[in-house]
Every structure is written in structure tokens, then in C-alpha cells.
């Protein structure tokens, strides 16, 4: 895989990433949950095949943005102690993300940075929010929660939470906030397996579920534009990052990217395995770089890298738009 130059510059002090398993670098390692990935074969493409807790075979899209470190550190890692680590950026779980971020901010204010230095640091940082995929795939499409919501009201429910989170980050001093849209959910192997009539034979994307992602992304962009037009904080900006089209393009035109397999994951059967179902006794494909998906939900390092390349111009714009 080609080496990517760092996007870091003097205009960027840190990257703080909030979201679900698609951007988690290992916070779940420190939580009481079965949904972990700190074991083989996860991380098989890292040196010495170290499983970091990332739900893939190597790096995530956010790791390629890197400021000072090759990999973004998880905030809940017990080894994350130095101010340098805190000032580099991190990924924290959605459930307590704002609480952890406020704790992080207090630690920075109590360091040699002080309040004024921390304020400057936050203004030069980029905040990335990547959420809602699990809310649909694991919750709305699977659990009885959908009985309480129509699809439309559930979409608005999630978007309102995103808007509230953006505004809370602005209150805490963040100024450049990027919100990531949904992927083509109907192309995820787990969705093809669970929602297709021919789940193990004629496999392919189910547009019914991808169209839901398209609708959500359009609504999200409209709401973010409205936020931008009614900003209460000087210099505050919000941006949208599209991952739908890059991933859809990899599936639809896989030969162009060098992929051989697009509708099942590399780990196990590739149909249903994820987290603890993808483990050290699972069969693993010989070359993950030929697969779009690592397990039944998460892309491979190669796919994450392609998403980064597709979003590179947007990321560079955000970094320099200050």
C-alpha cells in the first residue's frame, strides 16, 4: 500500500474523533463489553500482527489524517498519560464522549498550557463525528426500537443528537467540526446476509437500505447548513464528509481499485462474523487488500485508505480553512 504524506500543518493542533466502531482505535478494550476486537485476526496487517482494538486488519481512515503520531491513541487507554498524547487527539466512545472530552480539556488546562493555551489549542484542532451506522444496522433494522419510531422520525432523532453534539463541542471551544455521513448500508455484508432472500447465493447490495442512508445524508447536510447559517460562536464552522460515494464506488467498480471481493468479509465466512465471532480460530482470506470488507460490517485497511484518499481534498480544506 502506498505511503500517504501527513496532512498535518501549523494550522492543525490535534484531531479529536467521536463515534462508533468504524473510528474506534481501542476504547472498547477498556469497557465492560463483549464487543471488542483486541485479539487475532484483527490487526493482522500491523507490525507483529498486534490487535489494537481497531475493528479491521490495520489502520482506520482517521489514522491517515495523523498529526504527530502514526496512529491516533484511544482516550481510555491506561497508557495515555502524557500531555503530548492528549494534545495529539483521540477517539472516545459515543456513550460518554462529551464527558471524557471535558475531562481531557480540564487536564490540558491544568497543564503548562493553561486555560489560554488550551483555548488556542482547541481552536486549531479538528473534531470529527462519525456515528449513526450502528444505530441503524444494529438497532433500528434489528431490534424492536423501530416500533417506537417511523423511519423519518428516527432519522430526525439521530440528526438532532448530532446537532446537539456539534453545539456542545462549540461551547467547549471547538471551532472546526466535521460530520461524517452514512455509508451505503445495503452493501454491508451483514445487511446482505440478514435482509436478502438469497443471502448465501446471489449476493449484492440491497438498495432499500442504501437509499435510507442517502436520504439521511441529504437531511444531515441540510441541517448542518442551517447550523452554519445560525452560528452563535465567532469562527465556528461545521463541515460534511461524504463516505457513501467512495465506498459505493469501490463496490460498484471494484476492479478499478484492485478488489476481488465486495459482498462478504475477509474473516470467517464473511457473511455474519464481526467482533468476537471473528476470532483466532476463524478462517481468514489470504490477502485482505483484495477485499472491501474485513468482517461483515467493517471495511479493510485498504478500503479505509481509499476513503481517506477520496476525502483528502475536503480534509485539506478543513485544515486550511482557519
The pLDDT value recorded for residue 94 is 60
For residue 109, with 0-12 CB atoms within 10 Å meaning exposed, 13-18 middle and 19 or more buried, which class applies? middle
Distance between CA 88 and CA 16 in Å, rounded? 8
The pLDDT value recorded for residue 89 is 46
For 241, phi then psi, to 5°, come to: -115, 120
Residue 17 near residue 90 (C-beta atoms within 8 A):
yes
Distance between CA 238 and CA 178 in Å, rounded? 6
What are the strands, taking DSSP E only, across 144-211? Answer: 176-180
Would you call 240 helix, strand, or coil by DSSP? strand
Query: Is pLDDT at 58 greater than 70 in this prediction?
Result: yes
Query: Is pLDDT at 313 greater than 50 in this prediction?
Result: yes
Q: What pTM did the predictor assign? A: 0.90
Identify the H or E element spanning 221.
helix 207-229
How many CB atoms are located within 10 Å of the residue 235 CB?
10
Query: Is pLDDT at 91 greater than 80 in this prediction?
Result: no
Distance between CA 107 and CA 310 in Å, rounded? 35
Distance between CA 78 and CA 41 in Å, rounded? 23
Residue 25 near residue 60 (C-beta atoms within 8 A):
yes
How many CB atoms are located within 10 Å of the residue 320 CB?
11
- Residue-wise pLDDT tens digits, 111-160: 999 999 999 999 999 999 999 998 999 889 988 777 789 999 999 999 99
Which are the catalytic amino acids?
Answer: 21, 295, 298
- Residue-wise pLDDT tens digits, 192-239: 999 988 767 789 999 999 999 999 999 999 999 999 998 888 899 999
Task: Lowest mean pLDDT of 64-78, 168-182, 216-230, 269-283, name the range.
Answer: 64-78
Distance between CA 302 and CA 229 in Å, rounded? 37
DSSP line for 10-51: TT---EEEEESTTS-SSGGGGSS-S----STTTTTTSGGG--
CA 203 distance to own-chain centroid: 25
The pLDDT value recorded for residue 86 is 45
Amino acid at each position: 500500500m502506498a505511503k500517504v504524506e501527513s496532512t498535518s500543518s501549523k494550522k492543525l493542533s490535534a484531531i479529536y474523533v467521536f463515534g462508533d466502531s468504524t473510528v474506534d482505535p481501542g476504547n472498547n478494550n477498556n469497557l465492560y463489553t463483549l464487543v471488542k476486537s483486541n485479539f487475532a485476526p484483527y490487526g493482522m496487517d500491523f507490525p507483529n500482527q498486534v490487535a489494537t482494538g481497531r475493528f479491521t486488519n490495520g489502520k482506520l481512515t482517521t489514522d491517515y489524517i495523523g498529526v504527530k503520531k502514526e496512529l491516533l491513541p484511544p482516550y481510555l487507554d491506561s497508557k495515555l498519560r502524557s500531555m503530548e498524547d492528549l494534545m495529539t487527539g483521540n477517539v472516545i466512545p459515543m456513550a460518554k464522549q462529551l464527558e471524557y472530552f471535558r475531562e481531557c480539556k480540564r487536564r490540558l488546562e491544568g497543564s503548562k498550557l493553561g486555560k489560554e493555551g488550551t483555548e488556542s489549542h482547541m481552536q486549531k484542532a479538528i473534531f470529527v463525528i462519525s456515528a449513526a451506522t450502528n444505530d441503524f444496522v444494529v438497532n433500528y433494522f434489528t431490534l424492536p426500537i423501530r416500533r417506537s419510531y417511523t423511519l423519518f422520525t428516527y432519522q430526525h432523532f439521530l440528526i438532532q443528537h448530532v446537532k446537539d453534539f456539534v453545539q456542545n463541542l462549540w461551547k467547549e471551544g471547538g471551532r472546526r467540526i466535521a460530520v461524517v455521513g452514512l455509508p451505503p448500508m445495503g452493501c454491508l455484508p451483514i445487511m446482505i446476509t440478514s435482509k436478502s432472500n438469497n443471502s448465501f447465493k446471489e449476493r449484492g447490495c440491497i438498495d432499500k437500505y442504501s437509499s435510507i442512508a442517502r436520504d439521511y445524508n441529504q437531511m444531515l447536510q441540510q441541517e448542518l447548513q442551517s447550523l452554519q447559517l445560525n452560528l452563535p460562536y465567532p469562527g465556528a464552522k461545521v463541515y460534511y464528509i461524504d463516505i457513501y460515494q467512495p465506498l459505493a464506488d469501490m463496490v460498484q467498480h471494484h476492479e478499478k481499485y484492485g478488489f476481488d471481493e465486495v459482498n462478504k468479509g475477509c474473516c470467517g465466512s464473511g457473511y455474519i462474523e464481526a467482533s468476537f465471532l471473528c476470532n483466532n480460530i476463524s478462517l481468514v482470506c489470504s490477502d485482505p487488500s483484495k477485499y472491501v470488507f474485513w468482517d461483515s460490517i467493517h471495511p479493510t485497511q485498504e478500503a479505509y485508505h481509499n476513503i481517506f484518499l477520496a476525502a483528502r481534498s475536503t480534509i485539506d480544506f478543513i485544515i486550511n480553512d482557519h
